[in-house]
Amino acid sequence: MISTRGRYALRVLIDLAEHRNGSYIPMKDIADRQDISLKYLERIVPVLTKSGLIEGVHGKGGGYRLVLSPEKCIVGDVLRLTEGDLAPVACLAKDAKPCARAAECRTLDMWKKFNSLINDFFDGITIADLMKSSPAAENYII
């Protein structure tokens, strides 16, 4: 289940992309437009700044700006950053302790394939894909 952290982060990036004009956009504007608590956004957004996806400047006239173009901004990266992990089961999480039953596990292979499916799906979508009427993964071949 993708939590509000990941979903809100995506909406912030889409908003930044759609209102992109070179200047900085205050998070308060985005919070108002997206109808999300400003305080909560302030807790979510720093991870995007630290990873270099967006940049923020303090003070009057400040705010946030996309660093990458929307075409280069991968949804999978955003979700992995904000959600911590996209692993569908505990044993595939990045901090998981090795499972003693792995060798005999009948389901591990399925979880691994599902894990790849998830990551590949979101790595195939960019913020640019989500702008406008968002055909999104329209061209994802299934």
Partner DNA sequence: TACTTACCTACTAGGTAAGTGGGTTGAAAT
Partner DNA sequence: ATTTCAACCCACTTACCTAGTAGGTAAGTA
- The entry of its own copies, DNA, none near residue 117 (CB within 5 to 8 angstroms by kind) is its own copies
Site string for its own copies, 47-86 (x = CB under 8 A): ----------------------------x-----------
Q: Coil, strand or helix: which one is 51?
A: coil
Q: Give the dihedral of Cα atoms 41, 45, 55, 12; nearest 10 deg.
A: -60
CB atoms closer than 10 angstroms to residue 118:
15
Hey, what are 79's tokens?
């979700």
Asked if residue 8 lies in contact with residue 40, where contact means CB atoms within 8 angstroms, the answer is yes
Which is closer to its own copies, CB of 62 or CB of 85? 85
The Cα–Cα gap between 83 and 117 comes to 17
DSSP run (H or E) holding 45: none
Chain positions contacting DNA, by CB under 7 A:
3-5, 24-28, 37, 39-40, 42-43, 45-46, 49, 56-64, 90
Q: Coil, strand or helix: which one is 26?
A: coil
Q: How far is the CB of 61 from its own copies (least distance, A)?
A: 27
Which is closer to DNA, CB of 37 or CB of 140? 37
Q: Which residues bind its own copies (CB under 8 A)?
A: 1-2, 7, 10-11, 14, 35, 75, 87-90, 101, 106-111, 113-114, 117-118, 120-122, 125, 130-132, 134-138, 140-142
